[in-house]
Structure 1
């Protein structure tokens, strides 16, 4: 049975190494959100670096998730001191559980604060696609799907929750009321 891959990407206003209260708050919220999402029904796995420290993304060992990659439009630093991005790569059983995890609870609260932490851009900040059972998506998969979504809009290859597709490529809609989040 196929699984849903979900890649998120955002450019932060400040580097991850910034010692200020806004960055500390982002980390604290992020850690709580990760714990909660990891317990969410339908969650299967997420990319985690082997022994990675805060901000150590490019040099980290990501195992089966592949070499770390970012979209072409990311133009900030790539060192522990200068990296200014937040990104996730995860696997889910289906669209609905992933949607619910993103748009309810602690993650919803964090989304409401996103412009305190993230730059506004004309680029999508997430993309979904289907992978075969047993396949682990890579960072490069996520980047190429996000760039495809930006260039071509939602398609079976790369889509959003609002304009989603079933594994066989047919349009799939989550309940209309749930999609009124604007994402």
Structure 2
């Protein structure tokens, strides 16, 4: 059965190394949000660094999730001192569980604050697509799908929750959000 891949990407207003209160708030919110989301029904997995996450996204070993990649429009740094991004890559059983996890609870509260932390880039901040059971999407898959969404809008190849598509070869089951 197909699974939903979800890639998120945001450009931060200040580098991750910034000791300011807004950066600390973002870090602190993530410490509570990730465990809550991982307990949500329908959650399968997310990209986590194999080496415990010491360094920047670019320096980490992501295992089967592949080498870390960013969209072409990301123009900030790639070092510990200059990196100013937040990205996630996850797998879900279906659209509805992913939507519910993102738009409820602690993550919903964080979304309400996103413009405190993130720049308004004019680019989409997330993209969904279907993968076959057992397939682990890569960071590069997420980037190429996000760029496709930006350039072409929602399509079966890359879509949003609000303009979603059924899994390939699946009969529409009323799962559009």
Bin the TM-score by the shorter chain.
over 0.9
Verify the 8 A CA contact 2:166 2:175 in the aligned structure 1: no
Confirm whether residue 44 of structure 1 aligns to residue 40 of structure 2: no
- Identify the residue that residue 70 of structure 2 maps to in structure 1: 70
TM-score, normalisation: structure 1? 0.92
- Identify the residue that residue 163 of structure 2 maps to in structure 1: 163
Describe the SS at the equivalent of 2:100: helix
- Identify the residue that residue 94 of structure 2 maps to in structure 1: 94
Q: How does 1:76-87 map to 2 (within 5 A)?
A: 76-87=76-87
- Identify the residue that residue 10 of structure 1 maps to in structure 2: 10
Distance 2:168 2:3 in 1: 12
Q: 1:123 to 1:173 in 2, by over 3 A?
A: farther
Distance 2:44 2:10 in 1: 22
Verify the 8 A CA contact 1:163 1:171 in the aligned structure 2: no
Q: Which runs of no fewer than 5 residues in structure 2 stay unpaired? A: none
Deviations 1:86-145 (A, max 9, x none): 000000000000000000110000000000000011100000000000000000000000
Verify the 8 A CA contact 1:129 1:159 in the aligned structure 2: yes
Verify the 8 A CA contact 1:22 1:117 in the aligned structure 2: yes
TM-score, normalisation: structure 2? 0.95
Describe the SS at the equivalent of 2:137: coil
Deviations 1:121-175 (A, max 9, x none): 1100000000000000000000000000000000000000000001127777656
Q: How does 1:53-68 map to 2 (within 5 A)?
A: 53=54, 56-68=56-68
Describe the SS at the equivalent of 1:91: strand
Distance 2:77 2:164 in 1: 33
Deviations 1:5-52 (A, max 9, x none): 000000000100101111111000011110100100000000001221
Pairs aligned (count):
175
Q: Which runs of no fewer than 5 residues in structure 1 stay unpaired? A: none
Distance 1:11 1:154 in 2: 21
Describe the SS at the equivalent of 2:58: coil
